Amino acid sequence: MSTAVKAKIVTLEGHRNFRLRLVLSTLSGKPIKIVRIRSDDMNPGLRDHEVSFLRLLESVTNGTHIEISYTGTTVIYKPGIIIGGQITHNCPNTKPIGYFVEPMLYLAPFSKKKFSIVFRGLTALNDTDDAGIDALKWGILPVMEKFGVREAALHINKRGSPPLGGGEVHFVCDSLIAQPLTIHALEVPKISAIRGVAYCTRVSPSVVNRIVDAARKVLKPTGVEVNITADAWRGEQSGKSPGFGVTLVAESKKGWRIFSEGVGAAQSLPEELGEKVAYQLLEELSLSGTLGRSQLKLALTYMAIGKEDIGRIKLHKSQIDSNLIWVLRDINSIVGTEAFFKDGSDDIDPEEADFMTCAMKGIGFTSVSKKIA
């Protein structure tokens, strides 16, 4: 029995895409072994937030078996069944709540019971690639809708700015589906409006207005409607530390959204943040296909586990970087499906030269809850 199990274990190396690898393993039901986790680092092995994430996975699944080596540089993960339920998770202050929420978006629609998780910690953090809560709410949830997950929501009960946090977010997913829909997104969305939210905690509310004015000034020449909400938090709901931030979302009439976000650093000006994030949004729009860079991981995962049909999305050539290649490699290693790219420059239209079409065949995964039902 042990040799059969050993033969099936997929071995991966390094800490890159740690959460994605565990999510893919959980969805596909294939055990994985991750070796050489920061083995050459002065402080080798798993970090606090990675151990916390493993605990979270253990609490939303049943029958999951996790082995961590003495040095923390090797993890063996044998996935169980996704059961969901009501949970409270305290996140370490080394990572924002978004680090823990995002992988749950991949798992929640395929659970046996509905997800209802309360996360406590930092609602946003600077100098990190992890999405903030507003970005997940306005940028990632709409992508899930395209795949048939229509009843998922993120409620911000308390904001928590770094370093002390004190934020609270409630994630609810009422959509339980058998498998994601097959997607054919082959056009670049035409932006009809730009929306956003600028927030502050434990600082003067005028800070928010300064962020909004600076962002509006940059976005005005686009000619589309710009509507940025000012959101000043006070009292108990404003967490333990002062701070401010902004998330901007460009949306099309067909429901596609592309976002950018930023958090104010120490001694930085609100105007600088508003300008910076507005320019980031314009850059992201100019270098995006159907989806923005931060949304591709979710879309490709859903495409990989979808029906046994070929899904297609349009990408900008600049989006095909080393990060995307690593994501596709992990999907291939664990799930066993490949992505195929067709160059848009073969088309007659010269505007298509900067784009490629990514096609992927789903593996026909079916949710455990639907198998039992």
Domain layout of the chain by residue ranges: 10-180, 191-287, 291-361
- pLDDT tens digits, one per residue of 77-136: 999 999 999 999 999 999 999 999 999 999 999 999 999 999 999 998 877 789 999 999
User: 10-180 has which fold?
Assistant: UDP-n-acetylglucosamine1-carboxyvinyl-transferase; Chain (3.65.10)
Element (H, E) at 148: none
pTM of the model: 0.94
Give residue 50's pLDDT band: very low, low, confident or very high (50, 70, 90). Answer: very high
Q: Report CA 146 to chain centroid distance, whole Å.
A: 15
- pLDDT tens digits, one per residue of 184-206: 999 999 999 999 999 999 999 99
What does the block give as tokens for 312? 């297609």
Q: Which of 72, 79, 76, 78 is nearest to 37 (CA)?
A: 72
Cβ(173)–Cβ(117) under 8 Å? no
Could you give the angle at the alpha carbon of 363 between the alpha carbons of 357 and 364, nearest 5°?
Answer: 115
Distance between CA atoms of residues 370 and 366, nearest Å: 7
Q: Which of 212, 221, 220, 219 is nearest to 244 (CA)?
A: 212
Length of the chain: 373
- pLDDT tens digits, one per residue of 311-368: 999 999 999 999 999 999 999 999 999 999 998 766 667 777 899 999 999 999 887 6
pLDDT for 344 equals: 75
Could you give the angle at the alpha carbon of 161 between the alpha carbons of 288 and 229, nearest 5°?
Answer: 55
Element (H, E) at 324: helix 322-334
- pLDDT tens digits, one per residue of 135-177: 999 999 999 999 999 999 999 999 999 999 999 999 999 999 9
Q: Compute the average pLDDT of residues 287-316.
A: 96
Architecture of domain 191-287: 2-Layer Sandwich (3.30)
pLDDT for 306 equals: 94
